[in-house]
Structure 1
């Protein structure tokens, strides 16, 4: 049992890290929403191409950036041990790994274009999709660098520039969309492709902001990075990839399930698909806050490991879980009490409101456990354990949630509600299992 005094002492530094990171996650999510809204003004084909492109592009690229999550472990532990050279070596390894991942992820995305054609995607949609995706790919390398820079900085407790970079990039992206999509101020009206270029420019900007932050930090602390070798340290890169690969697979397992259940919802009817889409938007928004807390948990736990502060390890993890419980518990109550009001924010159709309200009420059941699973994942990552979460997500979603959802949806004729009951079962299992895994790991120290 963690003493209350320890939790109180940890609460403030945890919140100081988690709040800007949660804001950054919300800002990151809003960039995609804005792109969708602005693409909608170009017509149904552009909106469909943009949505399809995002479904193909982002899971692969975000999984690629997930390969860099091992930096949370290595840099935070080195920082806790007061070893700046070790932190910088991990930054250099992260930059090299990002440089290797960028062309690989781009090739995977490009390889999927013929697959979409063969699967029968609308030819007009493909005409819009391909140039849009190619424009997005020009920003992949900078997105990888941004991910490496972000993980490095937040492990050093430097999080305000991360939030600033993403929030301000949203403004640049909106302005770029306005110029390039619609052809203002003498720029050509490039349509959806213009959105891809604007997004890529914003990725370059984000990477440059964090690079400038690192260089300023180096100037204040002795320019140690400038004097270090930038030749690839393959042993460290392999270690980083070894930590990051399970994290990347976990992202694919989770994203893959939500993509697949969206396809299942699309086989039902328009009302079910619309209700499902709104419910996904709602839970994705609330999820951004514990996602930020998860990153803070990884940092605080890792720093305590580096200090060899066993009590601090447990305190950091449990404080993060408490913070998540406070937010997601409140979110769950709001979803349970006012589901129809929430759905009305998105649409006025009475049938969709009725169906969506039921899904939002189902989601209220798993909100707490969704917070548990992502925050416990972060805490375990701070210890250097990324495999447990990967395996738990694989079993929870693919061995339990998806089969249960399918059976309830089709043989039992529960429709889209059955799919969401399956997701709830998965998250109850995953959240409980990962909290128990954290309890065991923290207690073993």
Structure 2
């Protein structure tokens, strides 16, 4: 990152940082996207099994990754304040935390997976595929989370094109192993949806290995000597990271886990409905990478300006980022509306499942509009290190308003499974409105502090 003087310079810098993040996020999610779509071509059971496995994995992954995202504003503010010597110590402590979180989730997941799947009224084959898919993914948790820390370090320096390159390098690896392991090509075993989990794990290890190489050997990352100096465990730094990161992680977890909860509740419907629901969520989540990428960019830019005490510049970045997200949200909604039929064909050859996917996709348009407001604001607030109130807002919006509304509409009205989607839309809209209010409060507080000369 660097200081900018004019609006034009800010827009240019924002786009230079954001576009590689967007491509990176799309590339990372494309792995899940190809897992689901390629498994769907293997059969409805494979689609349902992988989709359910993905819906359970996604909130865990995004929630714990959210904890590690605290590294981004911590490093951005350190660099903005000129405290570069603090950076390698922060990164190493982040790696320690990532390792511990990985071990905890592997142990907990191993104990809880079977009981959780048992709560769902799944057909035996769907149950088997979902279970084995998640077990396969478990072997890639450690490299995935440690890569997340190193990626936050790389992105905090504004070198987002590097993470883009690494992701684009790994994507063909994921597609190749999906192809040979799902369909049993070129002498590999035909594993169906389970093969998608193995392919993802192989890809995670590749991404981590390449990232370590860049951080240790390529400038400007190598000058920080991340792996050259041994740092012992610092519980004080862990505390700082977790105080900032846990609210971020829980905020993301409450938003993403509600989709897993809906999947659990929708298990009372038939396999076609479950598969269609998950396919539509998968595609809508793919487009969600747009506002999410803008949020990551705003955390970097706003954090850098806040660290340098240039609060007016931070506010300018906030406004630009939010308006860009809203514009892209409208475009995403139009894409879904126009392409919903060919999109359904990516996931299934079954006409019944395809019709249901198209119906669910119409509802997902409203997701895009709410996310276009809420998600970038979350990124701005993280740049200010304001994370506790947004956490409470997410909890109330999704779990106390959205989910009960969806349950009531799905079980006591003619909406059926679509009622859950209306509940999700309601939760997202309430959260967007609350976060908009919170942003105004934070910016007013900063204005008062500037007036008082703090």
Q: TM-score per shorter chain, which class?
A: 0.7 to 0.9
Q: 1:117 to 1:69 in 2, by over 3 A?
A: closer
Partner of 1:156: 157
Residue 66 (1) aligns with residue 66 (2): yes
Partner of 2:328: 327
8 A Cα contact 2:143 2:204, kept in partner: yes
Q: Aligned partners of 2:338, 2:126: CA distance in 1, in Å?
A: 40
Report the count of equivalent residues.
Answer: 441
Partner of 2:213: 212
Partner of 1:199: 200
Q: 1:48 to 1:359 in 2, by over 3 A?
A: closer
8 A Cα contact 1:268 1:415, kept in partner: no
Deviation at 1:157, TM superposition (A): 0.4
Deviation at 1:367, TM superposition (A): 2.5
Secondary structure of the corresponding residue to residue 410 of structure 1: helix
Deviation at 1:364, TM superposition (A): 3.2
Deviation at 1:261, TM superposition (A): 2.3
Secondary structure of the corresponding residue to residue 444 of structure 1: helix
Q: 1:434 to 1:51 in 2, by over 3 A?
A: same
After TM superposition, the structure 1 = structure 2 runs for residues 273-422 of structure 1, keeping only pairs within 5 Å, are 273=274, 276-335=277-336, 359-422=360-423
Query: 322-331 vs 299-308, which deviates more?
Result: 322-331
8 A Cα contact 1:373 1:431, kept in partner: yes
Partner of 1:85: 85
> What are the Cα deviations for residues 120-157 of structure 1, in whole angstroms up to 9, with x where unaligned?
75555555555543332221110111100111110110
Query: 353-362 vs 305-314, which deviates more?
Result: 353-362
Q: Aligned partners of 2:427, 2:337: CA distance in 1, in Å?
A: 19
8 A Cα contact 1:218 1:224, kept in partner: no
> What are the Cα deviations for residues 350-397 of structure 1, in whole angstroms up to 9, with x where unaligned?
776776555444443452221111111111111112222221111111
- With normalisation by structure 1, the TM-score equals 0.88
> What are the Cα deviations for residues 272-303 of structure 1, in whole angstroms up to 9, with x where unaligned?
54654454234212211111111001000111
Q: Aligned partners of 1:336, 1:248: CA distance in 2, in Å?
A: 32
8 A Cα contact 1:335 1:360, kept in partner: yes
> What are the Cα deviations for residues 322-360 of structure 1, in whole angstroms up to 9, with x where unaligned?
110121122234546776676577668777677655544
Partner of 1:251: 252
Q: Which runs of 5+ in 1 are unaligned?
A: none
Q: 1:265 to 1:437 in 2, by over 3 A?
A: same
8 A Cα contact 2:154 2:221, kept in partner: no
> What are the Cα deviations for residues 33-57 of structure 1, in whole angstroms up to 9, with x where unaligned?
2223443455555444433433333
8 A Cα contact 1:56 1:109, kept in partner: no
Deviation at 1:413, TM superposition (A): 2.2
> What are the Cα deviations for residues 235-292 of structure 1, in whole angstroms up to 9, with x where unaligned?
1111111211112212221122112223444435667546544542342122111111
Q: Aligned partners of 1:22, 1:302: CA distance in 2, in Å?
A: 19
Secondary structure of the corresponding residue to residue 76 of structure 1: helix
Q: 1:342 to 1:140 in 2, by over 3 A?
A: closer
Partner of 2:449: none
Query: 163-172 vs 259-268, which deviates more?
Result: 259-268
Deviation at 1:186, TM superposition (A): 5.0
Q: Aligned partners of 1:129, 1:270: CA distance in 2, in Å?
A: 13
- With normalisation by structure 2, the TM-score equals 0.86
8 A Cα contact 1:313 1:442, kept in partner: no
Q: Aligned partners of 1:191, 1:281: CA distance in 2, in Å?
A: 18
Q: 1:333 to 1:125 in 2, by over 3 A?
A: closer
Q: Aligned partners of 2:56, 2:295: CA distance in 1, in Å?
A: 26
> What are the Cα deviations for residues 167-222 of structure 1, in whole angstroms up to 9, with x where unaligned?
22121122223444555555555555544333222111111222122123457764
Partner of 1:141: 142
Q: 1:348 to 1:205 in 2, by over 3 A?
A: closer
Q: 1:261 to 1:196 in 2, by over 3 A?
A: closer
Q: Aligned partners of 1:405, 1:131: CA distance in 2, in Å?
A: 30
8 A Cα contact 1:180 1:190, kept in partner: yes
Partner of 2:231: 230
Partner of 1:29: 29
Q: 1:387 to 1:341 in 2, by over 3 A?
A: same
8 A Cα contact 1:6 1:315, kept in partner: no
Q: 1:178 to 1:350 in 2, by over 3 A?
A: closer
Q: CA RMSD in A?
A: 3.0
Residue 260 (1) aligns with residue 268 (2): no
Deviation at 1:416, TM superposition (A): 3.3
Q: Which runs of 5+ in 2 are unaligned?
A: 447-454
